[in-house]
Structure 1
Amino acid sequence: MAENCDEKLAGAFAVKCGHRPKQGVSKKWYINHDDIDVEATQKSHRGTVVTALVLKTGAKIYPAGGKKVSSIEHALSIKDFSNGYIHTDRFTVTYKGEDERERVQELVDGARVVTLSKKIDTGISGELSYEIAGLESGMEITEDNYNSAADSGVTKIAVATKEGEEESTAIKLFKMTGGIEAIETWIETNEYVAPVTP
């Protein structure tokens, strides 16, 4: 049986056979801005690095669907030097039951979104990093395209920082004591898992 190169793993990354890992976002989660305990969340390096991302009791982060390594938009633009940065992001939410439908409706109703992305860098070994967009003000939905025929329901969503509420820094790095392993343990602990129905 021929090896499926798209599925081959090198460490924690998906790769093409014979090539080093491709740059891009390999996984993404979305978080309701109101679910973040802003006071307890800790930052360093003038606010550019998040060292502790703290959620309110019972809150979860939600996996966004997409390709293994995709061209998920992760754009930054400087609005102007006095007001800071506009963040924009795109992700896909795959229907996973009524809870998922309710969360998407929250976004449509005006909830603010923060995104956490697992990124493969351009380094020789394809280093991993985690980045957070929208932590300060949250991003509002700008596009909502729902396809009921795809995978029992897929919503493609675009979000952006609201004009006049620019973020003070570019996208923040997520770095915990304990490195990538500590971050992945945090994600596993805080990621929403749909209940199994009998």
Structure 2
Amino acid sequence: MTESRKIVVISAGLSQPSSTRLLADRLAQATVKRLADDGVAAEVQVIELRDLAQDITNNLLTGFAAPKLAAAIEQLTASDGAIFVTPIFTTSYSGLFKSFIDVLDPDALSGLPVLLGATGGTERHSLALEYAMRPLFSYLHAVVAPTTVYAASSDWGSTGDASTGGLPERIDRAAGELAALVREHDRSTRVRDPFALPTGFSPVGGFGAQ
């Protein structure tokens, strides 16, 4: 293998162990395998948002990221692809997940290949990936893989049906799509300082001061 890529996994599971982390790991493993089949090595870094919850809250209140949160953001912005997985609460992504997105620079994910996944108790919430998560990442100008993966409690160990396939099949299809996007990703065209001050910022006069 002569090529290598960096994949960052963002898991917003609250319990330990969690089905959210389990799905995140399955998606990461499948993506690594797909890349390896094409001669591309992948380094995977997993970020558990539950471990950063206090730092994320403090960042929202103060505008400054603690070292551990800053390191996680830098890992994400310097990656070649990312996997985001959240539990679904009240028909949408979790508050912790959205809070992490809110502390990112608006351009931090621009051009980044992304695979979206979610977990929930019932199949009824599966469309949250399309009406809540996909629009969010489209707004952030990420390159979202066509297939999203939702895992309800009943999906674990199920083979699915003829139209949707089982969870392993959906994971493999989504991983193949992300791997294809990651292979073509040129990190040099999008890596930026996630903590750079906006153009025109003056510590004395504020934004746009001359």
Of Structure 1 and Structure 2, which has the larger fraction of its residues in strand? 1
Q: TM-score, normalised by structure 1?
A: 0.26
Q: TM-score, normalised by structure 2?
A: 0.25
Of Structure 1 and Structure 2, which has the larger fraction of its residues in helix? 2
